[in-house]
Chains A and B, each alone.
Chain A
Amino acid sequence: MRLVAREHASPWRTPGAVAAAVILTFLITAGPIRGSGASPVTAYRRFLFTPLTSSYSLYEVLLTATPLLFTGLAVAVAFRAGYFNIGAEGQFLAGAMGATVPGIHLADVPAGLALPLALAAGAVAGLGWAFLPAWLKRAAGIDEVVTTLLLNPVALLLLQGLLNGPWRNPTSGFPDSETFGPGYRMPAMLGDRVHAGLLIAVVLIAATVVVMTFTPLGLRIKAAGQSPDAARFSGIDVTRVQWTSALASGAIAGLAGACQVLGVQHQLTGSIAQGHGYTGIVVATLGALSAIGVLFVGMLLGLIGVGSQNASLVLQIPPQMGQLVTAVLLLTVVSCLAMRQYRLVRRRPPGAAES
């Protein structure tokens, strides 16, 4: 069997490829679900439909999707410019730590000032964590994939070191920070768990759409990512565009971490490290690196996240099934999309008659 390029384009190829990927994902994950003693059909009903049936669980979906919208957008902004920032995880953790600094050391700042201060601290921390790889890429041409990846475990270790050392809770003795000052609570919206971070994420997504569609900067970013040589030839400073995107990406990922501690935990704990940064790569890729795509895929993965928690409570399927479904969906979708310009042909034995 071999692949042959299709002669004709068909408008059905893309939705067909995605549908095939979804079916493949179901088939591949059915085995492990059976292995835990549950029925795959029941499990998928839990993953995809149960969270939509009550307003409480709908709000949980929005809450779970919030950090993914940020990290997905962060990764998309960088990838779009051809800068492979795989360090959103570290930048997310840096943002959470950055927001914690005023949260516990300036606990008495009044509410109107506290939130902007903590959000800015988070964005700056994320940007700072992205700065070193971006600068090394710009100044010395050092591969950003490696440096951003290596800084992820470093950020996690820094977080654990701070929680076990200077930020250890003096009253409980646990490796959690103290609770933030009262001014550092993100206002709630839609029920009492969804917080204003969702609003910030949606505004950032809308702003990204505007920048990418209507501004020269957006055009330069797209050109730098799609065809760096052509972009350079037409006078675009590709290195500088990638540098800008890299720092913006870090700041957005940092905001994600800040919103997560300010809106959900109200203190810094080790459980902040849930791999949201890595999931952001999935969100950005499945969202075709577009801001609108990030919005849809972020919501979908939020749905699967809540559904897998639900399934773990009710059906005793380990909650890691959520991550497994996400990873398999990523691989099947990119595979099916790559296959769509080909068709599979069974190799004719040499000399056989045309059929």
Chain B
Amino acid sequence: MNISLVAVLAATLTIATPLVFGALGAILGERAGVLNLGIEGTMYAGAFVGFYAADRSGSAWVGLGAAIVAGAAAGALMGLLTVSIGVNQHVAGIGTTLGLVAACDYTNRVLYSSGTQVRVPKFTRLLADIDIVGQYALTWIALLVLAPFVWWVMRDTGAGLRLRAVGENPEAADVAGISVATTRYVALICGGMLMAIGGAFLTLALLGSFTIDIVSGRGWVCIALVIFGRWGVWPTVAGALLFGVADALQLQLAITPEFGDVPNELLIAVPYLVVIAALVIWGRGIRYPGAYLRPYRRA
């Protein structure tokens, strides 16, 4: 059996990229006390809107910008439901996901009814000649810029402290003069933007096109990674890389002759099972943010 280690490592970073964006977006909301199960739909919307805008404008960057706007809107919708109205967070999130997926599939059918696959301009790998370093710019942005930035904001800035205060003890934060509603809205909108970038990465970097069910549960993986990482930035990024390794390995196994008889789909399922196993091993007895799932109203 001959597996190329370099190819696995290179693929790991690429596969982990949308998960790093999505999971960091989820951390922002959850640290502020809101579980955003709209993530799967938000990533889907980012993928579709990014694709559509890139198709219309002829530029992948415009597509990325449009995806970010869509993600902000999805985050604001989640804020309206869970912060202003105070709906159960599980129901609001699942409803948001179902609604966004249906809306994108519907719009896709209206706009692209011919059924032929439309190719759009996509991002290219930087330094594509060098094996592992040859990645998309978004990959390096996620790992080397965004993750340290979010970590620093959470740990060392007033904004991060306010975010965590609102998520741990909204009553105390309110008494201290922090607006719980505004903080949660900002967290959800910024989180939605990151999730949408993760989705747009799938269409604008990996595929250069849009297909039905393109996100295929990656949003749920992000939610699991955040719990696995106990709401910390670096453990969550490590979890994304773990999923990346598992996925990259199964991609390599799928093209090795010894595994030719194993149905491809069963190999694709392996990374999901790895995440569940990781939760079982490291995810026991964790402490959730104090105000997790709790809406806040002044008494």
Contacts and interface: CB of A to CB of B under 8 A. Distances in A.
B284 A140 contact: yes
A289 B179 CA distance: 34
Interface in B231-290: 263-266, 268-269, 272-273, 275-276, 279-280, 283-285
Interface stretch (B58-66, B151-159, B190-198, B216-224): B216-224
B93 to A, nearest CB: 9
B96 A331 contact: yes
Contacts of B217: 149-150, 152-153
Interface string A1-45: 001000000000000000000000000000010011000000000
Interface stretch (B97-105, B124-132, B140-148, B168-176): B97-105
A318 B94 CA distance: 22
Given A86-B94, A157-B266, A334-B92, A324 B220 contact: no
Contacts of A154: 269, 272-273
A140 B280 contact: yes
A145 B224 CA distance: 9
B149 interface: no
- Chain B interface size band reads 35 or more
B223 to A, nearest CB: 6
Given A278-B94, A321-B106, A158 B279 contact: no
B99 A149 contact: no
B107 interface: yes
A149 B220 contact: yes
Contacts of B224: 146-147, 149-150
A151 B279 CA distance: 13
A323 B109 CA distance: 14
Interface stretch (B2-10, B49-57, B82-90): B82-90
A187 interface: no
A32 B107 contact: yes
B227 interface: yes
10 contacts: A86-B90, A143-B283, A146-B223, A146-B227, A149-B223, A157-B265, A278-B94, A330-B91, A331-B92, A339-B85
Contacts of A152: 217, 220
B284 A141 contact: yes
A208 interface: no
Contacts of A265: none
B121 interface: no
Contact of B87 (A36, A160, A338): A338
Contacts of B87: 331, 334-335, 338
Contacts of B91: 281, 285, 330, 334
B280 A278 contact: no
Interface string A277-319: 0100110010000000000000000000000000000000010
Interface of A: 3, 32, 35-36, 84, 86, 132, 136, 140-143, 145-147, 149-154, 157-158, 160-162, 164-165, 278, 281-282, 285, 318, 320-321, 323-324, 326-328, 330-331, 334-335, 338-339
Given A335-B81, A335-B85, A150 B266 contact: no
Interface centre among B88, B106, B107, B263 (most CB of A within 10 A): B106
Interface of A is mostly: helix
Contact of A153 (B109, B216, B264, B283): B216
A151 B209 CA distance: 27
Contact of A145 (B84, B90, B101, B265): B90
A18 to B, nearest CB: 15
Contacts of A327: 95, 98-99, 102
Interface centre among A36, A162, A324 (most CB of B within 10 A): A324
Contacts of A285: 91
B259 to A, nearest CB: 13
Interface of B is mostly: helix
B85 A338 contact: yes
B1 interface: no
A324 B99 contact: yes
Contacts of A84: 90
Interface string B102-142: 11011101100000000000000000000000000000000
Given A154-B272, A321-B106, A146 B279 contact: yes
Interface in B30-72: 37
Given A140-B284, A281-B94, A331-B96, A158 B276 contact: no
A161 B110 contact: no
A160 B265 contact: yes
A161 B265 contact: yes
B211 to A, nearest CB: 15
B35 to A, nearest CB: 8
A157 B269 contact: yes
A155 to B, nearest CB: 9
A161 B276 CA distance: 20
B86 to A, nearest CB: 5
Contacts of B99: 324, 327-328, 330-331
Nearest to A162: B263
A162 to B, nearest CB: 8
A285 B93 CA distance: 13
Contacts of A162: 263
Given A84-B90, A149-B223, A327-B95, A158 B265 contact: yes
Contacts of A331: 81, 87, 92, 95-96, 99
Instruction: Please give me the 6 A-B residue pairs with the lowest Cβ-Cβ distance, nearest first.
Output: A161-B265, A153-B217, A327-B99, A318-B109, A161-B263, A323-B102
Given A84-B90, A147-B276, A161 B264 contact: yes
A190 B37 CA distance: 40
Contacts of A282: 95, 98
B110 to A, nearest CB: 5
Contacts of A160: 265
